[in-house]
Structure 1
Amino acid sequence: MTSSLFPLTPRLAKALARAGVTVERAGLVWRVRRGDAAAQLLLPDDFPLEIKAVQQLLDFAGVGWPDRPAPVRCACATPDFHPGSLAPVGSIVATDADVVVPAAIGTDINCGMRLITTGLTQAQLAAHEARWTGALTRRLLHAETDVPLRAGAFRALFDDGPEACLDALDAQGVWAGADRTRLLREVRDCIALQSFGGNAAHAPEAWTEGSGTVRAPDLGTVGSGNHFVEFQIVEAVLDRHVAYAAGLRVGEVVVMIHSGSRGMGFHVGQRWMDRARALWPAGHKHPQSRLYALRGAEAEGFLQAMGTAARYAWLNRVVIAEWVREALEACVGAGGSRLVVDVPHNVVTREQGLNLHRKGATPAQAGQWALLPGSMGDASYLVSGLGNADWLWSCSHGAGRAVRRQAMRREAAASQGTETWRCLALREERRWEEAPEAYKPIGPVIAAQEDAGLLRAAVRLRPWRTFKA
């Protein structure tokens, strides 16, 4: 299944003209403009230039207020660019340091990728597959979780940060078998985590009041949509120095986790989107884009609230990783797992004196590692960022969706699995919605960003077993 909107058909050209959008192309770089709003896109040959996504990006680039010039300094999009609910996925927008746009991040705050090693080969895991897949099916798909935290541990997380939370854990539930020293060490390999502030006042009161044990119902859950837990095989080393530093060898099994802040992100994100709308100057027409900016103290308040949810997203991925480690140790006797990297793609970070809004885009400062998943039938990559300022020190967060979920549900012929990969899911429609045909090919996405100087591919990972909730 393919899109019909390949650049630049006469039909698309006419639609862009009707929308007041001008387009220029130089190689793989597209520059778009509407009025004072401008942006650039990096699109491989034959990738769709979708008018809805272009309009959303220009809405994002032109955000502001009736009484103040637009605060956006630069807007761009990576090859996984496609429409989102309000802001397009695969976009990066830099605003003044006293401005934020809550709706540009939405409710899936600090959605991100986490990669851990297993120290095992495919043959070693295949010999015990029924046991560990059964254990993880109960944890990840049936939500048979046990993640007790005292309210004090939640307060420590939100007020003081990840290390304080880990220090406050009791040896109960998933924490009974957790290696605290390893978890504390792994905090340093989480990109941007230490930059997020927080305050328990932004969290649900039921989690932070008193001294009793709290069981947040969605802590340690993957979520729906494109979130996943995937066992992958190291298929090729493309940069031996990065692979050595990451401790990855050809043939080894690794586990990639894609999840976010779950209900906590919705709790924070929706409140601040509503607040930004409510603060729109009275007597002025609201923007059709429904993108509202905050400035000054309100912007700082959002960043603190966002950081609170971002810390929860980190803890959520930690718990999922611990479920994986628990299953492998119980079923295979493997206890040497290590974190390679944990990287966000749905946050605002303060860099270079700007607020960088990354909506489905990944930090890629020079030497920084990032994870770019394909589909569950295509490769994923560990890459090294090159710190390209023209693309706001960022890269894509994956291949990008090519076909909407509603359309995929109508495609009964979508791939359900092969001899080399298989999806474990409770709902058949999840396999349809997330089939490889729903996504762009990852190869051109990587190649375009290498050619443009955004990243360097280091390790290619082949999907093997994918858990989809």
Structure 2
Amino acid sequence: MGTFFGDTSVSTQPACTPATIHHYFSAESWIEGAALDQLDRMARLPGVRSIAAFPDLHPGKYGATGVALLSDRLHPLLVGNDIGCGMSLFELDLPLRKLKLDRAASRLRRFDALAVDDAAGRLDGVGLPGDLFADALGTIGGGNHFCELQAVESLSSPVSGIGRQGLYLLVHSGSRGFGAAVLSDSLSAEPDLMSGLDASSPAGLHWLGRHDQCVAWASLNRILIAEKAASALGADCRLVTDVPHNLVRRSEKGYVHHKGAAAVDPGTIAPLAGSRATLSYIVRATEKVAGSLGGISHGAGRKYDRATMHGRVGRTRSERDDLLRNAWGGIAICDDRALVIEEAPSAYKDAGRVVADLVAAGLVESLAAMRPLVTYKKAVDEEGRARRPDKPDHRQTGRRKHDRY
């Protein structure tokens, strides 16, 4: 195990001096140089006081992903367009012994045909306008978003709601077109958004208000996705934990920006996703997360970008078919050949290594490992439109040439 560089201090240096970056990963972690370069640029943004970087760290569009960042100013670009994106774990009232895998996969294929009942009422129930992107509620989105049926592979510590004979849904989704609209409006209204916003200014207050709506919307969306999936399986579901990883949290020290970093408190139970052919994990945050700005990894993190994957895997039909099965007999449902390749398990880091680094840093206790049984992914582009099967979306593939930070 390599050496960790992280402490609980917060930089109070002048704005012209780069903020302190605390690394919560070991020498064994795969960390791309481009992500470290982005971290250095993020440390020089106006108002930034401290950064915590986690073992799933990888390059992003407006800055590195897998980061918690404390700032006196708001930086909407760091949170990005999927405000409130997160992962929720649900327990099904369907025992593992009754599962017929092929039948479950067949039923989950009908996911998108299922409607959300009383979307307006559900929005009103969480304090949101009944017409707020109501048509998008209960939809997963594209890219790395998914709804996955899981079972316990190993249980290392007792945790309420998790048992060896249970079935679970892990849902990864966010605010869909709502979050994208909020970012687009901010970019149009504030040409110098790269410098961030004064949180007390009209623009800052407006963004914070819309941000809070996105976080609530995204959380409800994950619940409705789980309810639809459970209904397709003939079951009911119960929420075990809901942990967002793209948001801003207020603190007495400033505003903590979570970009692909699970927002936790001591004792929080959090899912940490692998890939559709590798184990995911359930962890419990320790008291030491106060020193990591309340952040931990939310998943394995990408190892290779989308364009690179098209040259690495899936060259033949048999290879692509193999990508839809895993070692446990699990099934991936995805009708977009390009997305199957872009989201291949080898595109991601080792989630077990990520968990090991977090444990060694003292940030989490590992509770359980979960194996993927059926993974549902939808072929849609960044704006939420359906992608044509077998046709890559070149706006999502390739290295982004215009990283702002």
Between stretches 229-238 and 115-124, larger displacement belongs to 115-124
Preserved CA contact (<8 Å) 1:218 1:263: yes
Between stretches 388-397 and 109-118, larger displacement belongs to 388-397
Q: How does 1:2-401 map to 2 (within 5 A)?
A: 27-29=3-5, 36-64=18-46, 71-96=47-72, 99-126=73-100, 129-139=101-111, 143-149=112-118, 154=123, 156=124, 162=126, 164=127, 207=131, 216-240=134-158, 243=159, 246-278=160-192, 290=194, 292-297=196-201, 298-329=203-234, 334-335=235-236, 337-388=237-288, 389-401=290-302
How far does the alpha carbon of each residue in 1:200-248 deviate from its partner, in whole angstroms, 9 at most, with x for none?
5xxxxx926xxxxxx83322111111111111111111112xx2xx221
SS in 2 for 1:294: coil
Preserved CA contact (<8 Å) 1:269 1:306: no
Cα 1:84–1:291 change in 2 (3 A) is farther
Q: Which residue of 2 aligns with 1:402?
A: 303
Q: Which residue of 1 aligns with 2:386?
A: none
How far does the alpha carbon of each residue in 1:44-93 deviate from its partner, in whole angstroms, 9 at most, with x for none?
333233232122222222212xxxxxx22211210000000012110110
Which whole-Å CA distance do the structure 2 matches of 1:74 and 1:419 have between them?
41
Preserved CA contact (<8 Å) 2:278 2:345: yes
Which whole-Å CA distance do the structure 2 matches of 1:232 and 1:150 have between them?
27
Unaligned runs of 5+ in 1: 1-25, 65-70, 166-199, 201-205, 209-214, 281-289
Larger Rg belongs to: 1
Which whole-Å CA distance do the structure 1 matches of 2:95 and 2:119 have between them?
38
SS in 1 for 2:312: coil
Which residue of 320, 326, 333 maps to 1:418?
326
* Letter in structure 1 aligned against 2:32: E
Q: Which residue of 1 aligns with 2:385?
A: none
Which whole-Å CA distance do the structure 2 matches of 1:103 and 1:322 have between them?
32
Which whole-Å CA distance do the structure 1 matches of 2:373 and 2:227 have between them?
20
SS in 2 for 1:295: coil
Which whole-Å CA distance do the structure 2 matches of 1:385 and 1:153 have between them?
30
Which whole-Å CA distance do the structure 2 matches of 1:404 and 1:410 have between them?
11
Preserved CA contact (<8 Å) 1:231 1:465: yes
* Letter in structure 2 aligned against 1:146: A
**Total equivalences in the alignment:** 360
Q: Which residue of 1 aligns with 2:10?
A: none
Normalized against structure 2, the TM-score is what? Answer: 0.82
Query: 1:302: how far off?
Result: 1.3
Which whole-Å CA distance do the structure 1 matches of 2:196 and 2:176 have between them?
23
Query: 1:377: how far off?
Result: 1.3
Query: 1:350: how far off?
Result: 1.0
CA RMSD of aligned residues (A): 2.5
Preserved CA contact (<8 Å) 1:364 1:454: no
Which whole-Å CA distance do the structure 1 matches of 2:6 and 2:285 have between them?
22
How far does the alpha carbon of each residue in 1:249-286 deviate from its partner, in whole angstroms, 9 at most, with x for none?
113221101001101111112212433435x6xxxxxx
Cα 1:275–1:461 change in 2 (3 A) is same
How far does the alpha carbon of each residue in 1:109-152 deviate from its partner, in whole angstroms, 9 at most, with x for none?
111111111233434111xx44443332122xxx3242254757
Cα 1:27–1:153 change in 2 (3 A) is closer
Unaligned runs of 5+ in 2: 8-15, 379-405
Query: 1:387: how far off?
Result: 3.3
Cα 1:318–1:49 change in 2 (3 A) is closer
Query: 1:430: how far off?
Result: 1.7
SS in 1 for 2:257: strand
Normalized against structure 1, the TM-score is what? Answer: 0.71
Preserved CA contact (<8 Å) 2:29 2:353: no
* Letter in structure 2 aligned against 1:448: D
Query: 1:424: how far off?
Result: 0.9
* Letter in structure 2 aligned against 1:418: N
Query: 1:376: how far off?
Result: 1.1
Which whole-Å CA distance do the structure 1 matches of 2:35 and 2:5 have between them?
16
